Amino acid sequence: MKVVNLLAVVDKEKCRGCKTCERICPVLAIKMENRKAVIEDDRCRGCGNCEQRCPDYAITMVKREQPIAIKVDVSAVDYDKIEQLCRKAKFNPEQIVCYCTATRAEEVAAAILQGANSPEEVSFLTGVRTGCKVECIQPILRLLEAAGIKPEPPKGGWQWYGRTVTVWDIPEEVKNKYASRGFYFDEDIKILDRVADAPLQGRSDS
Ligand code: SF4
Ligand code: SF4
């Protein structure tokens, strides 16, 4: 969940149409029109990425007249399906996967089950990946993958580059090769499995 207080505004006099902002917006809120950046106000999640990256200082973050709360209602989705999806992706549903917005895996899973089929749509619906824009891309990709979705990074964009390897993906031969060098892959997996499989704390029916 995120309360969006800020909105990106373009100074058209300064914009040179380089497309950098369009390529890095995590929710695809920026389009080019007549070689100038145009921001879709309702879509902007106030992350400031475009302001930080614009080489011509043409974008400013301003306070929204009305803050908007971005959240997917987890209770509107079958919780068994949410739990199944999270556990399949090796997340505990109650685990926080985006620290900037304190969003739990269950909310990202709910967004996917409601039809979000790309990181950009997940970010748009939940607000995740609109803080640091770094840490939560991998949990999003893992949850999408668990749902059988293989999104492609936006064409021509620099929003994300693919899923990285997790401890569960490491082949036995690699584990064996490094076993004598102080790596404890199986022990790590056991600890992480305990987190992912732990009973739910916040639900009376669990
Ligand atoms: S990054 Fe700046 S100069 Fe480039 S298109 Fe966006 S607003 Fe214009
Ligand atoms: S979501 Fe972020 S990058 Fe996209 S327009 Fe808003 S402030 Fe800029």
pLDDT tens, residue by residue, 161-200: 999 999 999 999 998 888 888 888 999 999 999 999 999 9
pLDDT number for residue 135: 86
Is the pTM of the predicted complex or chain greater than 0.95?
no
What is the reported pLDDT for 206? 43
Q: What is the pLDDT of residue 18?
A: 98
Q: Which of 50, 53, 120 to mutate to test the pocket of ligand 2 (most atoms within 8 A of CB)?
A: 50
Query: Which atom number of ligand 2 is nearest to the Cα of residue 8?
Result: 7
Residue 30 beta carbon below 6 angstroms from any ligand 2 atom = yes
Q: Counting atoms of ligand 2 from 1, which one is nearest the CA of 44? A: 6
Q: Which residue has the tokens 């996917």?
A: 112
Ligand number, closest to the Cα atom of 10: 1
Residues of the chain where predicted confidence (pLDDT) is lower than 50:
204-206
Which amino acid is it at 49?
A: N
- What's residue 118's pLDDT? 97
What is the CB neighbour count within 10 angstroms for residue 15? 18
Predicted local distance difference test score (pLDDT) of residue 202: 79
Given a contact cutoff of 8 angstroms between Cβ atoms, the answer to whether 97 and 91 are in contact is yes
CB 140 within 8 A of CB 109: no
Please answer whether residues 108 and 147 qualify as being in contact, where contact means their C-beta atoms are separated by less than 8 angstroms: no
Distance CA 13, CA 84 (A): 51
Tell which CATH architecture fits domain 2-69: 2-Layer Sandwich (3.30)
Does ligand 1 come within 6 angstroms of the Cβ of 39?
A: no
Return the pLDDT at 203. 66
Mutate which of 34, 35, 59 for ligand 1? The one with the most ligand atoms within 8 Å of its CB, which is: 59
What are the sequence ranges of the domains in the chain?
2-69, 74-163, 165-201
* pLDDT value for 134: 85
- Residue 178: CA count within 13 A, CB half-sphere: 10
